């Protein structure tokens, strides 16, 4: 049962509830009736705010996009001013997330439930592309000889780590990813650190 405050606007309560339930249980496992009951809104209110469940899913994924990109930027900045260390900082943050418990990547979880061409699939592809472009810019600033390849490798490693933490040994997966990231960054950024 969610703990959404009834003092917040209805749209926020619905979206807060959707974020909690979709991430924990999966999108298809959570019906509209459960969203209504746990957010404390009337059916008409839900449909006034979100004409369909797909609209709720889209809003959920956009919120997760904002949150995840903020977390990545924060992790990079916390690692200091050196772009190499900022790239590595992404994996230090993954290690912390694994210790706190994670249910995997919200986007990978969502896209597993939807076919290509769906809104959820399109939002996920947009999110993954934006994150990869940002990591590519960091890789270029770090002096990577091939920033596109390094960005692809690192983002695949992030996604794989998040997927692995959902299944087993979150701490081991995060540590292995951190070690692999250090090796990839050091090999790709051959100039002085």
How far apart (Å, rounded) are the C-alpha atoms in residues 162 and 98? 8
Q: For 13-29, how does the pLDDT look when each residue is reduced to its tens digit (9 = 90+)? A: 999 999 999 999 999 99
Residues of the chain with CATH 1.10.10.60: 1-51
CA atoms within 13 A on the CB side of 103: 12
**More confident site: 124 or 193:** 124
The model's confidence at residue 7, banded by pLDDT at 50, 70 and 90, is confident
* Fold (topology level) of 1-51: Arc Repressor Mutant, subunit A (1.10.10)
Q: Is the pTM of this model over 0.85?
A: yes
User: CATH: 3.40.190.10, 1.10.357.10, 3.40.190.290, 1.10.10.60. Which one for 64-188?
Assistant: 1.10.357.10
Residues of the chain with CATH 1.10.357.10: 64-188
């Amino acid at each position: 049962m969610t703990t959404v405050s009834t003092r917040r606007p209805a749209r926020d309560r619905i979206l807060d509830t959707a974020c909690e339930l979709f991430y924990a249980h999966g999108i298809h496992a959570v019906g509209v009736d459960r969203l209504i009951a746990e957010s404390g809104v009337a059916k008409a209110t839900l449909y006034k705010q979100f004409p369909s469940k797909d609209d709720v899913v889209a809003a959920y994924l956009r919120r997760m996009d904002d949150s995840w990109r903020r977390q990545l930027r924060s992790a990079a900045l916390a690692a200091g001013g050196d772009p190499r260390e900022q790239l590595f900082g992404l994996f230090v943050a993954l290690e912390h997330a694994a210790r706190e418990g994670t249910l995997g990547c919200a986007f990978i979880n969502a896209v597993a439930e939807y076919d290509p061409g769906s809104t959820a699939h399109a939002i996920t592809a947009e999110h993954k592309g934006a994150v990869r472009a940002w990591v590519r810019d960091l890789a270029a600033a770090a002096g990577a000889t091939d920033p596109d390849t390094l960005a692809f490798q690192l983002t695949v490693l992030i996604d794989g780590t998040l997927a692995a933490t959902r299944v087993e040994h979150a701490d081991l997966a995060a540590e292995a990813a951190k070690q692999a990231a250090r090796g990839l960054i050091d090999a790709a950024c051959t100039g002085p650190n």
